[in-house]
């Protein structure tokens, strides 16, 4: 269960056992035994069971994910070849036999089992077959792995290739990119996911800073927090939008670049990010910055799009975009204007509306962020990163507020934790002691802080404090 493989459970069962007895054996008895072994129990829950009168197989989650990735590559190849043969919208799904062969080439034992099944006079492979009990295990697996989502991706990829062929036949400008249409589709879907995440994180952290502002703590500079969020998460969002706009319009301009001081590892942004890279827009000519990047954007994309992109960058970087805002405004107002500007213009720029954070989405994001931060905390070994991650986790757990940015998290620990009655004094002391301690004294403190930050809820945290 803990490897990228599968298990044939049928060979370990009596020949005369019924299907209901198999289900009871697995769902009741086997599960109860595994609950004492958390790693195995988690792997079992994340995996896939395929059971019928003739088959009892278990597939681990890593294998399922690997199969899906293989199918994605197959979609790339299939869409290009299939589109050349088509004149209508029929038969856009990869044949079942091709999917079976693709996965079987990687898992030869499964392919052997399927071939043995086929030799016994079974029916030919077809997605539309309803008599699933007569199919071999590899076919059954392919039916599960080739989900509706992957089927739709396959259809979209074929249609995209057909559009490219149609455009070429009628002399319409066609992309010069060497990748197939499904690659372009994958870039689009990757962008959409990143765009939504950044929209949600920007609103989530903005809401937290606004709440912190109402606390009226004299030592906290809320304007600096807003500024950190704008220059971090805001500039990441501006970069993502600009890159996709240029990709969509097939603009390859080497004079325009996104500058950041962070290393490549620090440039990766995800739902559990604690700090965001800070980007600025720069315009180069012969290796030197020679002109205002905002003016260059407007000349590169004349009309409303260039002006809209220019204003977006001006708001998140606090740099003048040809006097768009002549008055000096604070970071809080700039953030408000930045979000409002994206809400009004992102659909026209990139074909996607600004993703508004409603209560239902906020709950999902908070849960996903907590899970991601817990995984990050588990891997952390440097005390500074442990303190940052633990502070963010505890503040979200106790206050339901999500914070990011070194300045913001440091200020919350320094100025808010000590005066908050809901945060145990022992927890604050452990975090601040770890922050200030010498390297030789940090090992036990790191373990203690990680225990506190990993508490499932406030009650569990109090129990840990009392037991400490």
How confident is the model over 268-283, as pLDDT tens digits?
Answer: 788 888 999 999 988 8
Residue 181 is predicted with a pLDDT of: 56
Task: Establish how many alpha carbons lie within 13 A of residue 220's alpha carbon, considering only the half-sphere containing its beta carbon.
Answer: 23
Query: Whole-angstrom Cα distance, residue 457 to residue 398?
Result: 8
Residue 336 is predicted with a pLDDT of: 94
Residue 195: strand pairing partners = none
CB atoms within 10 A of CB 297: 24
Residue 369 is predicted with a pLDDT of: 93
Residue 202 is predicted with a pLDDT of: 96
**Residues 85, 90, 95, CA angle at the centre, nearest 5°?**
75
Query: Whole-angstrom Cα distance, residue 191 to residue 186?
Result: 8
Sign of CA dihedral 403, 405, 406, 412: negative
- Could you tell me the pTM of the whole model? 0.60
Q: Tell me the pairing of strands 56-59 and 256-259.
A: unpaired
| Ranges of residues in the chain whose predicted pLDDT is under 70 | 1-4, 28-43, 86-90, 119-124, 130-133, 160, 163-189, 252-254, 263-267, 285-290, 302-303, 319-328
Query: Whole-angstrom Cα distance, residue 232 to residue 226?
Result: 10
Residue 7 is predicted with a pLDDT of: 82
Residue 316 is predicted with a pLDDT of: 92
Query: Whole-angstrom Cα distance, residue 106 to residue 129?
Result: 25
Confirm if 164 and 180 have CB atoms less than 8 A apart: no
The two structure tokens encoding residue 254: 């080497």
Alpha helices by DSSP H, listed for 231-285, are 235-248
The SS3 of residue 397 is helix
Confirm if 389 and 376 have CB atoms less than 8 A apart: yes
CB atoms within 10 A of CB 270: 12
Q: Could you tell me which of 428, 403, 25 has the C-alpha nearest to residue 226?
A: 403
Residue 165 is predicted with a pLDDT of: 65
Strand order from edge to edge, sheet including 56-59: 6-8, 56-59, 48-51
Per-residue pLDDT reduced to its tens digit, 144-181: 888 888 888 788 778 767 766 665 454 433 344 445 55
Helix axes 442-453, 458-467, angle to 10 degrees: 150
């Amino acid at each position: 269960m803990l490897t990228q493989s599968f298990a044939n459970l049928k060979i370990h069962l009596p020949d005369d056992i019924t299907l209901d007895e198999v289900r009871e054996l697995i769902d009741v008895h086997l599960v109860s035994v595994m609950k004492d072994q958390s790693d195995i129990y988690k792997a079992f829950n994340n995996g896939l069971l395929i059971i019928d009168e003739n088959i009892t197989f278990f597939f681990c989650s890593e294998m399922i994910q690997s199969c899906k990735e293989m199918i994605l590559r197959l979609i790339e190849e299939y869409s290009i070849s299939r589109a050349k043969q088509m004149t209508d919208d029929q038969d856009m799904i990869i044949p079942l036999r091709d999917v079976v062969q693709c996965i079987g080439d990687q898992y030869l034992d499964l392919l052997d089992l399927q071939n043995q099944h086929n030799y016994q006079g079974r029916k030919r492979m077809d997605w539309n077959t309803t008599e699933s009990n007569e199919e071999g295990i590899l076919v059954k697996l392919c039916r599960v792995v080739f989900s509706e989502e992957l089927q739709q991706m396959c259809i979209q990829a074929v249609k995209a290739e057909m559009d490219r062929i149609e455009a070429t036949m009628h002399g319409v400008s066609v992309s010069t990119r060497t990748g197939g249409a499904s690659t372009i589709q994958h870039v689009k879907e990757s962008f959409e996911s990143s765009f939504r995440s950044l929209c949600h994180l920007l609103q989530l952290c903005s809401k937290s800073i606004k709440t912190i502002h109402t606390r009226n703590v004299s030592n906290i500079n809320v304007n600096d927090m807003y500024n950190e969020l704008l220059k971090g998460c805001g500039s990441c969002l501006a970069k993502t939008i600009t890159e996709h706009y240029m990709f969509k319009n097939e603009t390859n301009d080497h004079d325009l670049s996104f500058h950041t001081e962070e290393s490549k590892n620090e440039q990766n942004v995800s739902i559990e990010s604690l700090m965001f890279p800070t980007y600025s827009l720069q315009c180069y000519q012969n290796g030197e910055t020679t002109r205002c990047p905002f003016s260059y954007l407007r000349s590169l994309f004349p009309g409303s799009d260039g002006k809209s992109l220019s204003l977006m960058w001006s708001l998140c970087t606090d740099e003048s975009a040809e006097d768009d805002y002549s008055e000096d405004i604070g970071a809080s107002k700039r953030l408000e204007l930045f979000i409002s500007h994206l809400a009004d213009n992102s659909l026209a720029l990139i074909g996607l509306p600004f993703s508004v954070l409603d209560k239902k989405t906020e709950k999902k994001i908070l849960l996903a962020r907590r899970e991601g931060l817990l995984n990050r905390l588990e891997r952390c070994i440097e005390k500074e990163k442990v303190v940052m991650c633990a502070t963010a986790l505890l503040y979200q757990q106790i206050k339901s507020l999500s914070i990011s940015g070194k300045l913001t998290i440091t200020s919350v620990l320094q100025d808010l934790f000590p005066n908050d009655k809901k945060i145990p004094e022992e927890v604050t002391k452990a975090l601040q002691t770890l922050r200030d301690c010498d390297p030789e004294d940090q090992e036990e403190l790191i373990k203690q802080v990680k225990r506190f930050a990993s508490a499932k809820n406030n009650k569990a945290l109090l129990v840990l404090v009392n037991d400490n």
